[in-house]
Amino acid sequence: MKKVIVKCKLKNRDEFEKKLTEIDMDFSPMFWRHERIYVPRNYQKKSSFPRLVLRTEMKAVDRPAKYELELRRHIEDSGVDIIDTTIIRDYSEAANIILQLGFEAQNEVSSRRQELVLGKGTKLFLDKVDGVAGYYAKIEAELGEKDKVEEVKNEILSTFAQFGQDPSTIIEDTYSEQL
């Protein structure tokens, strides 16, 4: 799946949420996520190298955790993220396989997240990352075959502007890189 992802640091979370509720949009209940990020041994920042993310997600305390393995590759030249996700049953076994494939742990990121569906294939996330100050809003838009990356990115930036975020709040680094 190809996505365009834009993230910004919120100046004021309450104002951001208020603007959304004024137009009858409301986030899902908050849930907890923990991600272990693995990179190839020769990984370089701002390269198109793949990253593997081993994720644990808890949406409710009375339900079992969900475990996923995500292959994520950011193509620098185009600004597109290629993402493939699969559900796993054995977290430890998946971690061992990743290490045997020559990947190494880069970082661990814990966060609390809320999500809001903006449209078909487009979601807005509100994130609070442990160890990083402030709140972040992130919009992920799936790319169709005929979609142009720049047009989709401009739509996302317009959406952020509509909710009071200026371009100076856009963050390029991943949460892992910010830690």
Q: Does an H or E element contain 74, and which? A: strand 66-75
Domain count within the chain: 1
Find the mean pLDDT for residues 108-126.
94
pLDDT at 32: 96
Taking CA atoms, 41 is separated from 44, 104, 132, 171, 179, in Å, by: 9, 6, 26, 25, 19
pLDDT at 172: 84
Q: Which domain, by its residues, includes 41?
A: 2-178
In eight-state DSSP terms, residue 89 is S
pLDDT at 90: 95
pLDDT at 4: 92
Q: What is the pTM of this model?
A: 0.88
Question: Which of 71-80, 137-146, 162-171 has maximum average pLDDT?
Answer: 137-146
Residue 162, Cβ density class (10 Å: 0-12 exposed, 13-18 middle, ≥19 buried): exposed
- CATH number reported for the structural domain that contains residue 48 in this entry: 2.40.320.10
- Cβ atoms within 10 Å of 7's Cβ, excluding its own: 20
Q: Is the dihedral of CA 126, 129, 134, 136 positive or negative?
A: negative
Find the mean pLDDT for residues 120-143.
94
Asked whether the predicted pLDDT for residue 78 surpasses 90, the reply is: no
94 three-state secondary structure: helix
pLDDT at 139: 94
Strands (DSSP E) contained in 88-148 are 103-119, 122-129, 136-142
pLDDT at 89: 94
Q: 164 with 17: CB under 8 angstroms?
A: no
Alpha-carbon distance of 130 to 109, in angstroms, equals 7
Q: How confident is the model at residue 164 (pLDDT cuts 50, 70, 90)?
A: confident
* Mean pLDDT of all residues belonging to the chain: 91
Residue range 17-54, pLDDT digits in tens: 888 888 888 888 999 999 999 999 888 877 788 999 99
Q: 37 with 53: CB under 8 angstroms?
A: yes
